[in-house]
Structure 1
């Protein structure tokens, strides 16, 4: 079997294990067994548990960023692009619950250096959102602050929607757009000044 295929199997097993059991409770034995390989092979390919966890965070961050970036790219209206980005975000987190658990809970709960890896992903998503808010406002506004608030709300809603609530991605995206677009529409109408 080619190395990249074997490594992907091990990474998939690691994401599943870390996402369901957490970093501390996960064992390299369990990851190896789930991947169908020996424990020494996991260490040979992916080194230590810490390096494996870091690799999982990076891989899953890249995957989430790629789907959000693809959804918000283009020349459409800011509202449509933001809605598409939210739908892509909620769809990805629903379809990859273990990956989302690694990014949203496990990485941050373990502190450094893992939290920094997750924060990089969050900052990139907030950057996309700030750009869209700036385009919608058509004037000065605190686009970065609003983007941070929106990203935080999206993360919380994804955690809730993927839990017992079982909200569909389209419902989650529509709920958040309903909440934020009225405020963004106010920014557009008043040239970015919410005090009017």
Structure 2
């Protein structure tokens, strides 16, 4: 049922998708859908939770504890992009549908995103510490970098759907690691116009 619901919500959108359509796609009766999930809202929430849990499990499971910072970032990004490429309907539900439908769905996706941002923040902070980074790379800046990296990856996953997960992850590494690498070595961008 959830597979049929995710596919229908991704293709038609939350508002246009009907429980009849989902039941037919799942090969069950509409009353059976309502028996397991009381409403369209409950079904959509179940879809969001399942897709969010799968995405987080893919990323968390790929990052190798104790590996170098760039290896951890690479494996996390690769898992993210390979997962979103392999599950485009699930990504559409999380990234496009749930965010635009409003509450309580947007809050569910926001909570998932906050977990991913925190995971990335911890990785960046550890990388900075391992590199004996300039203490000027304060907690606020590390948090901002984590938000920026996650936002850029989300955007690229939506835009770069025609490319492989590996290609998107490599693009993101080239974008992020070059900048993070410079920061780690104290090379900061400064405006020439003061």
- TM-score scaled by structure 2? 0.90
Matched, 1:19 2:13: no
Deviations for 1:86-124, whole angstroms, at most 9, x for unmatched residues?
000000000000000000010000111000000111111
State the SS of the aligned residue for 1:59. helix
CA distance in 2, matches of 1:143, 1:18: 36
SS in 2 for 1:146: helix
Name the counterpart of 2:53.
62
In the other structure, the counterpart of 2:143 is 144
Q: CA deviation at 1:128?
A: 1.3
2:181 to 166, 182, 185: 185
Shift, 1:188, TM fit: 1.4
Counterpart check, 1:92 vs 2:83: yes
Which residue does 1:167 correspond to in 2? 163
Deviation at 1:135, TM superposition (A): 1.4
The answer on whether the counterparts of 2:98 and 2:109 sit within 8 Å (CA) in structure 1 is yes
TM-score, normalised relative to structure 1: 0.89
Which among 35, 38, 43 is matched to residue 34 of structure 2? 43
**Conserved 8 A contact 1:87-1:170:** yes
The one-character-per-residue Cα deviations of 1:33-77 (angstroms, maximum 9, x if unpaired) are: 000000000000011000110111011000000010011241100
* Correspondence list, 1:128-139, <5 A: 128-138=119-129, 139=133
Structure 1 residue 143 displacement after superposition:
1.2
Q: Distance in 2 between matches of 1:187 and 1:17?
A: 44
Cα offset for 1:195? 6.2
Unaligned runs of 5+ residues in structure 2 are: none
Q: Which runs of 5+ in 1 are unaligned?
A: 1-9
